[in-house]
Amino acid sequence: MKLKFLITSLTSCTGCISALMSLDVFPQFLERTKIEYFPFISDNLEIKECDIALVEGCVSEKNQIEYLQEIRKNAKKLYALGTCSAFGGILSLSNNKDSHPISKFVDVDGIIPGCPPPSILLGNCLLRLVENKEIKLSLKNMCSTCPLNNLAKLDLPLTIDKIVPRNDEIRFPGENVSCFLNNGILCLGPITRDGCDHLCIHQGLPCEGCLGPVSKGFTSNLINFLSLFNLSKNLRNYRGIYYRFSKLFAGGKD
């Protein structure tokens, strides 16, 4: 029996859908499921009953709430696809625009985080969903498997004064580099869920936290974490750190 899928976007960049369609398993996904609703590639605009709904994007407009509730009513399971849908996402940086995670308005059965969700994580989640299995996310943080971890002996309190290394400071793992935090560069690995294979770290850049926290409360986690350091003056009031992917102080509600 093929499961029925609904895939749609709220306020988004369409990147999670683009990531989904770039997966090696996407052709297989189309063969093994029945797409009931997927406006990006299909003309049907009627929301019908389905087994699994994947929703990307945050809620930024009032009319999206009703649309989302209609989807919830028709879906046996509903998953937040990507960081906008799971936590609010990049629009959290806006001063005048709302960006709520979908869980503020409807119950969700799970999240597939990331901006975008890493290919391996997304592919594995998709295959499990096709087989009607629960999806599994790591319960560890980024540091637990970080290639720089063996050199990370944090001597707190540290002073953090940069969000990225200078261009002449960029080094790759394997070049005897130490943890970013030891070098005064903000890395959100300690409070970010493992699951991307350290894509940014491998390019010599710190984690920007796009997969979100393991436990609830995106921004409260961040504020607690930052309190461990002496943040330089130019970072202390920089919204770019606090609200980069969320304004959530507690799970689901903000």
Partner 1 sequence: MDKVVEACTRVEGCGNLIIYLKNDEIYQTELNFSVFRGFENILVGKKLLDIPKIVSRICGLCHASQTIASCKAIENLYGIEPSQQSILLRRLLLSGELIKSHIMHYFFQSFPDLLRIFEINPLIKDPYNLINYNPHLTTNVFNLIKIGSEINKLIGGRALHPITPIPGGLIFNPTGKSLISIEKYLKKGIYYIETIIENFIDLFSAFDPPTEFNLSNSIYFGLKNNMGFDRYEGDLRIEQNDTTYDDFQVKNYSKYFDKDPNLYGIVFKSNSKKKILTGPIARYKLAQNYGIDKISEYLSNFGKKWKSNLLFLNFLQLIEIYYEIQKSVEILDTTLLKSKTKLKQLNSIKKSNGIGVIEAPRGILMHHYHLNKAKIVDQVKLFIATEINLPILNKMITEYAKKLYEKEDIDSVKEKVQIMIRAFDPCISCASH
Residues engaged in binding partner 1 (CB under 8 A): 9, 11-19, 21-22, 24, 26-27, 30-31, 35, 38-45, 60-61, 89-91, 93-97, 115-116, 118-119, 163-164, 166-168, 170, 172, 196, 199-200, 202-205, 208, 238-240
Burial of 118 (0-12, 13-18, 19+ CB in 10 A): buried
Q: Which CB atom, from 107 or from 168, has the smaller least distance to partner 1?
A: 168
Q: Which CB atom, from 119 or from 221, has the smaller least distance to partner 1?
A: 119
Cα 235 to Cα 137, 162, 187, 213, 215: the distances in Å are 31, 8, 13, 21, 25
* The two structure tokens encoding residue 27: 């052709």
Q: Which CB atom, from 205 or from 251, has the smaller least distance to partner 1?
A: 205
Nearest approach in angstroms of CB 198 to partner 1 is: 11
Q: Which CB atom, from 22 or from 69, has the smaller least distance to partner 1?
A: 22
Nearest approach in angstroms of CB 122 to partner 1 is: 9
What contacts 90, CB < 8 A, 6 or more positions away? 13, 83, 84, 99, 115, 244, 245
Nearest approach in angstroms of CB 112 to partner 1 is: 14
Q: Which CB atom, from 14 or from 224, has the smaller least distance to partner 1?
A: 14
Nearest approach in angstroms of CB 166 to partner 1 is: 8
- In DSSP notation, 51-91 reads EEEEEESBB-STHHHHHHHHHHHHEEEEEEESHHHHHBGGG
Nearest approach in angstroms of CB 155 to partner 1 is: 26
Identify the H or E element spanning 5. strand 3-9
